[in-house]
Amino acid sequence: MLKGGKPLQYQNAAQILPPALLKAVQKYVSGTLVYIPVADPGRVGWGGANGAKETYVSRNREIRRLYLAGESVRNIGKRFYLSADSVKKIVNKSA
């Protein structure tokens, strides 16, 4: 396997893990190869990096506002290019 264009490095767990942790891991995967993914604390949830999530949150807020102001589901759907069912789901989700 490659990681960023480089082969993954095999390491003996007995040489890098504390004995107590090694013993705990051995209960689950003794004698097998295990891939441990890189920790990514900077990872953001869906749509967080490109602003898509906030765009949909804002749109849905506007849909709810229009609905509460008396706008019809059909007109809201036309305005936002959504089906009436989609508009109803958005409106009902906030209720």
Instruction: Express each pLDDT in 25-79 by its tens digit.
Output: 999 888 888 888 777 777 777 787 888 889 999 999 999 999 999 999 999 999 9
Same domain, residue pair 56 and 88: yes
Q: Is residue 45 part of a domain?
A: no
Q: How many CB atoms lie within 10 A of CB 10?
A: 6
Domain count, the chain: 2
Q: In this structure, are residues 23 and 13 in contact, taking their beta carbons and an 8 Å threshold?
A: no
pTM of the full structure: 0.55
Tell whether 59 and 33 lie within a shared domain. no
pLDDT tens-digit profile of 13-32?
889 999 999 999 999 888 88
Residue 8 in any domain: the answer is: yes
Domain shared by 31 and 60, yes or no:
no
- 90 with 64: CB under 8 angstroms? yes
Assess if residue 42 is contained within a domain.
no
Pairing of strands 6-7, 2-3: antiparallel
The parent domain of residue 56 ranges over 52-94
